[in-house]
C-alpha cells in the first residue's frame, strides 16, 4: 500500500474534487466518520459545512486541509467493510482517529485506491501538527497495516504502477460511461505530465493510447467554434465509436485550456532538449548499417517513441519524438535540422558509409584524401567532394555527441554582493 499525504489552505478544493467524481460515477462515498449528524452521508452540504466549521475554530492556522490517498496493488479490490477497517486503522496511526473525515473509493484508474478528506483542527481549536507526519507516523502505520491485512508492500510494487495504461478497445462499450471514463483517465495523466506545444504533439502521445483529440474538418461547426472532441482509434488508426466533447469532462480538457499550456510547456521542455538529442545521437553512432525502423526500435527500448509522419504514397515527411523519460514531446525540426526526417535519413546513410571510423582516424583520412588529390589523376572531382562530405558529416556527428552545451551561470539577486557606498567627507 502506498500512502500519499497532501496539505493545503483550502478544504473546498479536495472536497469538491472527490464529490465531482461521485457525481460522474467514477467514485463512491465509503464512509463519513465522526460526524455528529446521522444523515451526513446523504447531505454533501452538511459534510462540507462541518469541516469548514472546525477549520474556522483556529484563525491562526492557514494550512487546515488534509487530503490523503491510499493506493493498493492491482488485484487488491477489497470489499467495503475491509476498506473501512484499513482506513480507520490508518487514521488512528497518524493521530486523526477522532477527527471527522470522508473516505471515497475511486474506480477511474488501473489500481484500487481511496481518497480521504479531513482537517487538522480539533474541536477545542488546537492544531494537529503536520510537520514530517509522513515520515514519523504514516510510514510506520503503513507497514503495520500491510502486515495486519496481508497487503502487497509498497517497496515491492513495480515502478510506474500507477501510470495510466493504453485503452483496450475490446473492453469498450461505445457511447456509454465506460468509454468516457477510459478516455478521461488517459487525458488526466497526459495533460498533467507531458510537455507539448501543439495539438499534433499532444496527439503524438494520445495516439499511443489509441485516442485522438479531433477538431473536425475546417468547414465543420466544431472547428469554426474552436471546439474539440476526443475519439477512440482502432488497431488501424481509424476513428471508431461516439466522439466525447472536451467540455463534458470535469477537468480542463478543452482546446482553450490546452493551448494555454503551450507557452509554459515550451519553456519547461527546453531543460530536457539536450538529453533527447544525446540519446538519438548515441543511438545513431552505435547502430551502423541499420535502417530507420531499427533505430526507432532501439530508441523505444530507451523510452523514446518515434512517430513517423507519412503522406498517402507512404513517403516520410516528418518525425515526432515522445520522450517518456522526461515527459517531453519534440517535433524533429524543433530539436534541430539533423533530427528532421531528412536529417535522420541522411545521417543513417552517412553512418553506414563511415562504419568503424574513429576520431583519431579523421586526420589520416584527410591526409589520404590530399595524397590522392595530388598524386593520382584517376580520382574524379566528384569522388573528392563526396569523400570530403562524408568526412565532415562524420566529424559533425561525433562533435554533436561529445561537445558540451554553452551555458551561463545565473547568480540569484539576493546572493550578489552589494557595492559599498563611499562615505561623503564632511567639510567643516
Cα dihedral angle (244, 249, 253, 254), rounded to 10 degrees?
70
Cα Rg of the chain (Å, integer): 30
> What pLDDT is stored for residue 383 in this prediction?
55
Cα dihedral angle (384, 388, 393, 398), rounded to 10 degrees?
130
- Which residues neighbour 117 within 8 Å (Cβ) at sequence distance 6 or greater? 11, 14, 15, 18, 51, 65, 66, 67, 101, 102, 104
Residues 230, 240: Cα–Cα separation, whole Å: 11
In the chain (428 residues long), the average pLDDT of successive 10-residue segments reads 91 92 88 88 90 91 92 82 94 94 84 91 92 91 91 66 40 52 83 91 89 90 90 83 86 91 91 89 77 85 87 85 90 88 80 44 51 48 55 50 42 52 66
Residues 69, 3: Cα–Cα separation, whole Å: 6
Domains of the chain, with CATH numbers?
2-156 (3.30.930.30), 169-260 (no CATH), 274-402 (no CATH)
> What's the pTM value of the predicted model, to 2 decimals?
0.49
> What pLDDT is stored for residue 109 in this prediction?
67
> What pLDDT is stored for residue 72 in this prediction?
87
- Decide if 125 contacts 57 (C-beta within 8 A): yes
- Which residues neighbour 3 within 8 Å (Cβ) at sequence distance 6 or greater? 68, 69, 70, 71, 90, 134, 138, 142, 154
Rounded to a whole number of angstroms, the distance between the first and last alpha carbons of the chain is 80
C-alpha distances (whole Å) from 25 to each of 19, 78, 408 are 10, 19, 52
> What pLDDT is stored for residue 291 in this prediction?
81
CB neighbours of residue 297 within 10 Å? 13
Record the cell numbers describing residue 56, joined without a space.
474556522
Amino acid at each position: 500500500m502506498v500512502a500519499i499525504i497532501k496539505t493545503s489552505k483550502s478544504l473546498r478544493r479536495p472536497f469538491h474534487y472527490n464529490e465531482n467524481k461521485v457525481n460522474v460515477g467514477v467514485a463512491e462515498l465509503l464512509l463519513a466518520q465522526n460526524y455528529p449528524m446521522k444523515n451526513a452521508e446523504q447531505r454533501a452540504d452538511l459534510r462540507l459545512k462541518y469541516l469548514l466549521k472546525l477549520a474556522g475554530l483556529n484563525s491562526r492556522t492557514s494550512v487546515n486541509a488534509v487530503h490523503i490517498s491510499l493506493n493498493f496493488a492491482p488485484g487488491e479490490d477489497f470489499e467495503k467493510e475491509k476498506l473501512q477497517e484499513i482506513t480507520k486503522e490508518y487514521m488512528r496511526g497518524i493521530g486523526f482517529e477522532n477527527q471527522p473525515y470522508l473516505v471515497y473509493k475511486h474506480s477511474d484508474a488501473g489500481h484500487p485506491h481511496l481518497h480521504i478528506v479531513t482537517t487538522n483542527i480539533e474541536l477545542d481549536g488546537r492544531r494537529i501538527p503536520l510537520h514530517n507526519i509522513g515520515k514519523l507516523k504514516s510510514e510506520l502505520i503503513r507497514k503495520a497495516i500491510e502486515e495486519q491485512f496481508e497487503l502487497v508492500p509498497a517497496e515491492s510494487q513495480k515502478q510506474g504502477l500507477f501510470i495510466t495504461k493504453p485503452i483496450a478497445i475490446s473492453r469498450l462499450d461505445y457511447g456509454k460511461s465506460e468509454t468516457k471514463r477510459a478516455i478521461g483517465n488517459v487525458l488526466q495523466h497526459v495533460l498533467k505530465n507531458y510537455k507539448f506545444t501543439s495539438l499534433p504533439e499532444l496527439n503524438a502521445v494520445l495516439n499511443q493510447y489509441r485516442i485522438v483529440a479531433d477538431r473536425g474538418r475546417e468547414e465543420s461547426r466544431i472547428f469554426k467554434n474552436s471546439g474539440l472532441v476526443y475519439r477512440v482509434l482502432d488497431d488501424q488508426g481509424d476513428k471508431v465509436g461516439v466522439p466525447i466533447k472536451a467540455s463534458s469532462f470535469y477537468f480542463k480538457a478543452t482546446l482553450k485550456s490546452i493551448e494555454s499550456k503551450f507557452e509554459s510547456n515550451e519553456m519547461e521542455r527546453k531543460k530536457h532538449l539536450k538529453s533527447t538529442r544525446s540519446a538519438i545521437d548515441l543511438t545513431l553512432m552505435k547502430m551502423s548499417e541499420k535502417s530507420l525502423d531499427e533505430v526507432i526500435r532501439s530508441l523505444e527500448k530507451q523510452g523514446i517513441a518515434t512517430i513517423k509522419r507519412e503522406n498517402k504514397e507512404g513517403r516520410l515527411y516528418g518525425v515526432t519524438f515522445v520522450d517518456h523519460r522526461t515527459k517531453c514531446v519534440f517535433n524533429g525540426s524543433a530539436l534541430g535540422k539533423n533530427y528532421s526526417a531528412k536529417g535522420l535519413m541522411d545521417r543513417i546513410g552517412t553512418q553506414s558509409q563511415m562504419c568503424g571510423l574513429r576520431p583519431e582516424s579523421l586526420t589520416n583520412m584527410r591526409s589520404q584524401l590530399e595524397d590522392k588529390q595530388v598524386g593520382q589523376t584517376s580520382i574524379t572531382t566528384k569522388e573528392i567532394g563526396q569523400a570530403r562530405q562524408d568526412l565532415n558529416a562524420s566529424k559533425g556527428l561525433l562533435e554533436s555527441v561529445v561537445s558540451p552545451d554553452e551555458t551561463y551561470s545565473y547568480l540569484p539577486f539576493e546572493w550578489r554582493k552589494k557595492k559599498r557606498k563611499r562615505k561623503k567627507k564632511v567639510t567643516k
